[in-house]
């Protein structure tokens, strides 16, 4: 419990900054939304509709109707997810490896708590922090969407999107924790987590554009929660299942390796 | 000169790694060029059934992607993103590491002024970033040429590469300022990633129109590859803004750092 409280206190400032950044992003992003914008005349839409999916993605057109607040938000949402992923992966690796970075590992490990308990407390604290970030994002998105939607229904769609937000948070938190569990060098775990995240992001972009590489979407978390599929239907239940399995494996791995490895003093 | 050499040596391996990352990123994107090319041809054939006016309109959109250099502009976004992370890491890390690694008192007691230290660190960083840009430019230049039939416009390509370098310097300068202003930066990666991706997310919304105020907020939008390809020049207003950011950040860093209270323990 002490560790839990300590971690929450230590992260107060960073969570405030992240929340402020997120509020700004959502507000500035939705500020660009204008409901009055014409959707273009029909022949243009037809032309775009005929475009192969790969080219649509390449040019960033099609799929979403930018005159509907929720669908505009869905485009913004990819970047929100991205920000959440960075936050989570940094949190997961940092919260464990910082003891070694700040040379407090000795101090902590001589206390009468097992490593397992330490890890549990730290992970619980991380989840709490993620929850705060989640709720703030949800609240600000809700408020801004209800302002722009002008009565159009958005609650259901937003709820689905936010569910994927939470899933991405947990996935990347466990990636970060996993690397921090393995690597002795505190700098390396953060770098490894980030590298994995960047590769996933770029693979997600490539998969969008190059249809032949569709099978690669299983290795990138960002494709598990594609706003297109979530909002437009056709979402496959397989992805949440894979996510749960991956999270379980990673967390297990984090415990397994962290309990056995040497600490960097 | 000693500080300069030491910094070059310390960052040498990281820079090599980044050069590798950037080059392979560009190469991976270019490898998909033939596939995209195929999709594009099919689509253009389809366009023949539409009225000529529509065809012309879409032709403008698709044409830019039909040359290797035009297609490269699409990959360029991600190259810039990686380059920005590299530069921001360097900027945030290069001064703050003295405090973090507790080498500040060692360095400060040497017969070298604070401005002297900053001179050396700055020039080392510029050299490192310059090398990155140079190797990348040469590598990708050959890569794109290999895909081009005869239409490789060297001047425009070099302009894009120069834009990449200037952007790196902008991000480096911002990072430097942040690190000098902060009392102590415990870990570089979370700070630099947070800043870079925040700008990246903003840039996603600053694209809707040419005369967009939001574009000034994010360096990612200062050099649009489409504009460079179409006009063979930079947008002056943004170029000037970028240079101003560099000058202001560097000057402020000098002023602040030369009178900063550096904690040695």
Closest approach of chain A CAs to the CA of B236, in angstroms?
24
CB < 8 Å to B35, chain A: 210, 212
Nearest to A32 among B58, B198, B205 (CB): B205
Sequence ranges of the domains in chain B: 2-31+67-258
Arithmetic mean of pLDDT, B231-251 = 93
Q: How far apart are CA A163 and CA B146, in angstroms?
A: 45
Q: How far apart are CA B46 and CA B231, in angstroms?
A: 29
End-to-end CA distance of chain A: 24
Residue B43 to residue A50, Cβ atoms within 8 A:
yes
Residue A47 to residue B50, Cβ atoms within 8 A:
yes
Which two three-digit tokens encode residue A162? 């936010």
Identify the residue with better confidence: A214 or A135: A135
End-to-end CA distance of chain B: 26
Closest approach of chain B CAs to the CA of A47, in angstroms?
8
User: Residue A135: what pLDDT?
Assistant: 97
Question: Cα A62 to chain center, whole Å?
Answer: 24
CB < 8 Å to A17, chain B: 194
Identify the residue with better confidence: B230 or B119: B119
Torsional sign, CA A140, A92, B94, B15: negative
CB < 8 Å to A99, chain B: none
Q: How far apart are CA A84 and CA B166, in angstroms?
A: 29
**Which of A 10-39 lie inside 8 A of B, CB atoms?**
14, 17-18, 21, 25, 28-29, 32
How does residue B261 score in pLDDT terms, banded at 50, 70 and 90? confident
Q: What angle do CA B91, B95, B98 make, to 5 degrees?
A: 140
pLDDT digits (tens, 9 = 90+) for A44-85: 566 666 666 677 776 666 667 777 888 888 888 888 998 999
Give the residue on A whose Cα is nearest the Cα of B212.
Answer: A32
CB < 8 Å to B47, chain A: 47
User: Residue A37: what pLDDT?
Assistant: 53
Q: Is A2 exposed, middle or buried (CB count within 10 Å of its CB: 0-12, 13-18, 19+)? A: exposed
CB < 8 Å to A186, chain B: 187
Q: How far apart are CA A54 and CA A71, in angstroms?
A: 20
In the Cβ-directed half-sphere of B261, how many Cα atoms lie within 13 Å?
2
DSSP 8-state assignment for residue B48: T
Residue B186 to residue A98, Cβ atoms within 8 A:
yes
Identify the residue with better confidence: A143 or B75: A143
User: Residue B65: what pLDDT?
Assistant: 73
pLDDT digits (tens, 9 = 90+) for A85-121: 999 999 999 999 999 988 899 999 999 999 999 999 9
User: Residue A79: what pLDDT?
Assistant: 85
CB B167 within 8 A of CB B84: yes
Q: How far apart are CA B177 and CA B260, in angstroms?
A: 12
Closest approach of chain B CAs to the CA of A105, in angstroms?
15
Nearest to A58 among B47, B74, B208 (CB): B74
Mean residue pLDDT across chain B: 87
Residue B145 reports pLDDT greater than 90:
no
Q: Minimum mean pLDDT among A64-78, B84-98, B217-231: which range?
A: A64-78
Residue B36 to residue A206, Cβ atoms within 8 A:
no
**Which of A 209-248 lie inside 8 A of B, CB atoms?**
209-210, 212
CB < 8 Å to A187, chain B: 187, 189
pLDDT digits (tens, 9 = 90+) for B44-57: 777 677 666 666 66
User: Residue B114: what pLDDT?
Assistant: 92
Q: How far apart are CA B201 and CA A76, in angstroms?
A: 8
Residue B210 reports pLDDT greater than 60:
no
Closest approach of chain A CAs to the CA of B88, in angstroms?
14
CB A95 within 8 A of CB A181: no
Angle between helical axes of B68-100 and B52-66 (0-180°, round to 10): 50
Q: Which of the residues B189, B196, B202, B265 would you substitute to probe the A interface, choosing the one with the greatest number of A C-beta atoms within 10 Å?
A: B189
User: Which of the given ranges, B114-128, B199-213, B220-234, has the highest pLDDT on average?
Assistant: B114-128
Q: Is residue A66 within 8 angstroms of chain B, CB to CB?
A: no
Q: Which of the residues B195, B200, B205, B211 would you substitute to probe the A interface, choosing the one with the greatest number of A C-beta atoms within 10 Å?
A: B205
CB < 8 Å to B185, chain A: none
Arithmetic mean of pLDDT, B83-97 = 94
pLDDT digits (tens, 9 = 90+) for A144-191: 999 888 777 888 889 999 999 999 999 999 999 999 999 988 888 988
Residue B43 to residue A18, Cβ atoms within 8 A:
no
Closest approach of chain A CAs to the CA of B194, in angstroms?
7
Q: Is A41 exposed, middle or buried (CB count within 10 Å of its CB: 0-12, 13-18, 19+)? A: exposed
User: Residue A154: what pLDDT?
Assistant: 87
Q: Is residue A51 within 8 angstroms of chain B, CB to CB?
A: yes
Residue B214 to residue A94, Cβ atoms within 8 A:
no
Q: What angle do CA B82, A246, A156 make, to 5 degrees?
A: 85
CB B114 within 8 A of CB B258: yes
Closest CA to B26 of B126, B163, B135: B135
- Cα dihedral B255, B256, B261, B265, rounded to 10, equals -110
Which two three-digit tokens encode residue B163? 């834009």
Residue A58 to residue B186, Cβ atoms within 8 A:
no
Q: How far apart are CA B72 and CA B64, in angstroms?
A: 10
User: Residue A182: what pLDDT?
Assistant: 94
User: Residue A65: what pLDDT?
Assistant: 73
Residue with tokens 């994010």: B218
pLDDT digits (tens, 9 = 90+) for A206-232: 888 877 778 888 889 988 888 878 887
CB B121 within 8 A of CB B93: no
Q: At a CB cut-off of 8 Å and minimum separation 6, what does B12 contact?
A: B128
Residue B190 to residue A52, Cβ atoms within 8 A:
no
Q: How far apart are CA B77 and CA B89, in angstroms?
A: 18
Nearest to A55 among B39, B50, B57 (CB): B39
Write down the ipTM of this complex: 0.79
Residue with tokens 């976004």: B77
Arithmetic mean of pLDDT, B138-149 = 87
DSSP 8-state assignment for residue A114: -
How does residue A38 score in pLDDT terms, banded at 50, 70 and 90? very low
Closest CA to A72 of A136, A157, A135, A169: A157
Residue A51 to residue B35, Cβ atoms within 8 A:
no
Q: Which of the residues A19, A33, A52 would you substitute to probe the B interface, choosing the one with the greatest number of B C-beta atoms within 10 Å?
A: A52
């Amino acid at each position: 419990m002490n560790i839990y409280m300590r971690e929450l206190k230590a992260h107060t400032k960073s969570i405030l900054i992240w929340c402020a950044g997120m509020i700004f992003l959502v507000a500035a992003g939705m500020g660009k939304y204008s409901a009055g914008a014409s959707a273009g005349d029909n022949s243009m839409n037809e032309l775009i509709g005929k475009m192969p999916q790969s080219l649509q993605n390449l040019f960033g057109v099609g799929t979403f109707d930018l005159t509907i607040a929720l669908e505009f938000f869905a485009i913004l949402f990819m970047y929100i997810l991205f920000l959440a992923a960075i936050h989570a992966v940094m949190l997961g690796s940092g919260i464990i490896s910082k003891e070694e970075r700040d040379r407090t590992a000795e101090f902590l490990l001589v206390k009468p708590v097992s490593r397992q308990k330490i890890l549990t407390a730290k992970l619980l604290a991380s989840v709490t922090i993620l929850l705060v970030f989640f709720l703030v994002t949800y609240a600000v998105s809700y408020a801004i969407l209800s302002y722009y939607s002008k009565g159009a229904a958005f609650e259901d769609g937003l709820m689905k999107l936010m569910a994927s937000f939470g899933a991405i948070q947990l996935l990347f938190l466990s990636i970060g924790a996993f690397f921090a569990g393995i690597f002795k060098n505190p700098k390396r775990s953060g770098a490894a987590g980030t590298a994995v995240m960047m590769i996933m992001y770029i693979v997600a972009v490539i998969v969008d554009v190059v249809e032949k590489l569709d099978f690669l979407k299983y290795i990138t978390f960002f494709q598990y929660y594609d706003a297109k599929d979530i909002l437009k239907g056709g979402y496959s239940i397989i992805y949440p299942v894979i996510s749960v399995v991956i999270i379980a494996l990673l967390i297990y791995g984090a415990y397994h390796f962290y309990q056995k490895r040497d600490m960097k003093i | 000169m000693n500080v300069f050499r030491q910094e070059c040596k310390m960052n040498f391996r990281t820079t090599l790694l980044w050069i590798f990352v950037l080059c392979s990123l560009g190469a991976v994107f270019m490898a998909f060029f033939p596939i995209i090319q195929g999709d594009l041809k099919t689509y253009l054939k389809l366009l023949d059934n539409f009225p000529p006016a529509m065809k012309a309109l879409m032709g403008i959109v698709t044409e830019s992607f039909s040359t290797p250099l035009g297609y490269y502009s699409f990959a360029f976004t991600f190259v810039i993103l990686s380059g920005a992370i590299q530069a921001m890491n360097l900027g945030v890390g290069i001064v703050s590491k003295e405090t973090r690694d507790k080498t500040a008192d060692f360095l400060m007691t040497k017969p070298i002024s604070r401005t002297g230290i900053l001179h050396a660190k700055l020039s080392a960083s510029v050299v490192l970033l310059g090398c990155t840009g140079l190797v990348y430019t040469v590598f990708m230049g050959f890569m794109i040429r290999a895909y081009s039939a005869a239409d490789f416009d060297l001047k425009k390509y070099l302009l894009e590469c120069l834009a990449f370098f200037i952007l790196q310097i902008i991000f480096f300068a911002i990072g430097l300022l942040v690190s000098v202003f902060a009392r102590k930066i415990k870990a570089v990666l979370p700070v630099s990633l947070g800043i870079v991706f925040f700008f990246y997310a903003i840039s996603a919304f600053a694209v809707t129109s040419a005369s967009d105020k939001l574009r000034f907020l994010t360096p990612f939008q200062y050099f649009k590859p489409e504009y460079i390809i179409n006009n063979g020049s930079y947008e002056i207003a943004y170029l000037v803004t970028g240079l101003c950011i560099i000058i202001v950040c560097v000057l402020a860093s000098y002023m602040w750092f030369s009178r900063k209270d550096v904690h040695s323990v």
